[in-house]
Amino acid sequence: MMTRIIKYTAAIVAGALATEAFTVSSMPKTSITSLRMSDDDTTRNEPAPVSRTVERGVSLDQDGKSNVWAIEPKMEVDSKSSEEQASSALFAVGGFAAFAAVAAGILTNLPDPDQF
């Protein structure tokens, strides 16, 4: 009898919490602002203008749903010399060869599963 009351109480509490998900949002209405690309080259040391309140990568549609999109980072030019690139490639190939040698040594020395 006591477990039945506990089950009913838990179900009522869970139902009450689930109904809150279907209520009208209490978020304040915000004006829809359009975002535009700009060709301004601002330096990194220069502070951002105070009047800009638009957050990049996020907007709201007419129904109040938020839209989020990725902002691609700026491309950087590789400034490594060919010698540095060659040494990096040799280091990567050497690391892979060392890993392959260790893995081959471990795999060849595993016990035979048919012995068990």
Coil/strand/helix, residue 17: helix
Q: Which residue has the higher pLDDT, 16 or 97?
A: 97
Structure tokens at 54: 């638009």
Segment 90-102 shows an average pLDDT of 97
Are β-strands 58-60 and 66-68 bridged in parallel, bridged antiparallel, or unpaired?
antiparallel
Identify the pLDDT of residue 16: 73
Cα–Cα distances in angstroms (integers) from residue 100 to residues 87, 92, 94, 107, 108, in the given order? 20, 12, 10, 10, 12
Condensed to tens digits (0 to 9), the pLDDT of residues 37-95 reads 665 555 455 555 554 544 467 777 888 888 887 877 788 887 888 889 899 999 999 99
How far apart (Å, rounded) are the C-alpha atoms in residues 112 and 17?
57
How far apart (Å, rounded) are the C-alpha atoms in residues 64 and 32?
9
Identify the pLDDT of residue 20: 65
